[in-house]
């Protein structure tokens, strides 16, 4: 059965591996499949792949069919919905908007029977230094991160928060940080939550400036220079790769 609920705009179509898409989705008065008051009732099982969402506006109630477990979601909530986990959701406000990333690969991953819920304001004590191997430059360490989800139903899926600022590894006294980066973890789909960022592509020389609210799609293997302006930058990221977790 084909269902039509809400309106969608696709921002990213495809990645360097697997099936990857990202965009925005909204519900409200007069929008397809919504109630007269703008609320919307949806039954959904993420058939296209793991769907990771950041709720930007509004609120909703989610119920997992198999367990009856309920979650309240509001602006700032991160919800990672594993492929084929059936749930029902009811938006409780006249308008709702979310940023979504759908990922599916061919390599078997870790099957889950429940959603994973967190928040962009999640601030654990255990932020870890972000360390990676940059081709031709060896090991680099800039910023710190915390993971919300570390495995996918297929391939590699990592969802989390990353930040730079004063006193954080690899950052300058004013909180700024500059480094070369090739996204070897996989394709990265990013929303800039706080601060200002400049990205320069090495091959083309193309420069782009980003501010809070902007969405950045980094293909794996694209060499860029990344500059986080001080005093603070924070991002929400979804990294995907059709390879098993190492």
Q: HEC profile for the chain?
A: CCCCCCEEEEEEECCCCCEEEEEEEEECCCCCCCCCCCCCEEEECCCCCEEEEEEEECEEEEEECCCCCEEEEECCEEEEECCCCCEEEEECCCCEEEEEEEEECCCECCCCCCCEEEECCCCCCCCEEEEEEECCCEEEEEEEEEEEECCCCECEEEEEEEEEECCCCCCCCCCCEEEEECCCCCEEEEEEEECEEEEEECCCCCEEEEECCCEEEECCCCCEEEEECCCEEEEEEEEEECCCCC
pLDDT at 244 > cutoff 70? no
Which of 95, 119, 143 represents a domain boundary (last residue)? Answer: 119
Mean pLDDT of 110-134: 95
**Does 156 reside within a domain?**
yes
Split into its structural domains, the chain has a count of 2
pLDDT at 126 > cutoff 90? no
**Does 187 reside within a domain?**
yes
Does one domain contain both 12 and 94?
Answer: yes
Does one domain contain both 208 and 160?
Answer: yes
Identify the CATH number of the domain in which residue 37 sits: 2.60.120.10
pLDDT of residue 230: 94
**Does 168 reside within a domain?**
yes
> What does the mean pLDDT of the chain come to?
96
**Does 203 reside within a domain?**
yes
The domain of 219 spans: 128-241
Does one domain contain both 76 and 103?
Answer: yes
**Does 2 reside within a domain?**
no
pLDDT of residue 243: 81
Does one domain contain both 233 and 134?
Answer: yes
**Does 52 reside within a domain?**
yes
Kindly report, residue by residue over 184-241, the tens digit of the pLDDT.
999 999 999 999 999 999 999 999 999 999 999 999 999 999 999 999 999 999 999 9
Which of 119, 140, 161 represents a domain boundary (last residue)? Answer: 119
pLDDT at 245 > cutoff 80? no
Kindly report, residue by residue over 136-175, the tens digit of the pLDDT.
999 999 999 999 999 999 999 999 999 999 999 999 999 9
pLDDT of residue 7: 96
Does one domain contain both 92 and 22?
Answer: yes
**Does 33 reside within a domain?**
yes
Mean pLDDT of 84-95: 95
Query: pTM here?
Result: 0.95
């Amino acid at each position: 059965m084909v269902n039509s609920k809400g309106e969608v705009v696709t921002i990213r179509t495809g990645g360097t591996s697997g099936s990857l898409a990202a965009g925005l989705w909204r519900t409200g008065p007069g929008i397809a499949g919504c109630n007269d008051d703008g609320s919307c009732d949806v039954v959904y099982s993420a058939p296209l792949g793991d769907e990771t969402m950041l709720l930007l506006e509004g609120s909703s109630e989610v119920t997992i069919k198999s367990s009856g477990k309920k979650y309240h979601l509001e602006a700032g909530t991160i919800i990672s919905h594993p492929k084929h986990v059936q749930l029902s959701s009811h938006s409780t406000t006249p308008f709702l908007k979310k940023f979504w990333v759908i990922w599916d690969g061919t390599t078997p991953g870790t099957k889950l029977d429940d959603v994973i819920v967190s928040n962009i304001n999640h601030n654990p004590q255990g932020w870890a230094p972000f360390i990676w191997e940059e081709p031709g430059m060896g090991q680099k360490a800039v910023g710190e991160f915390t993971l919300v989800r570390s495995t996918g139903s297929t391939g590699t899926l990592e969802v989390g928060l990353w930040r730079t600022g004063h006193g954080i590894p690899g950052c300058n006294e004013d909180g700024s940080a500059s480094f070369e980066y090739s996204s070897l973890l996989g394709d990265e789909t990013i929303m800039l939550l706080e601060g200002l960022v400049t990205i320069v592509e090495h091959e083309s020389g193309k420069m782009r400036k980003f501010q809070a609210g902007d969405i950045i799609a980094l293909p794996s293997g694209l060499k860029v220079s990344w500059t986080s302006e001080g005093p603070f930058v924070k991002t929400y990221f979804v990294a995907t790769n059709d390879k098993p977790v190492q």
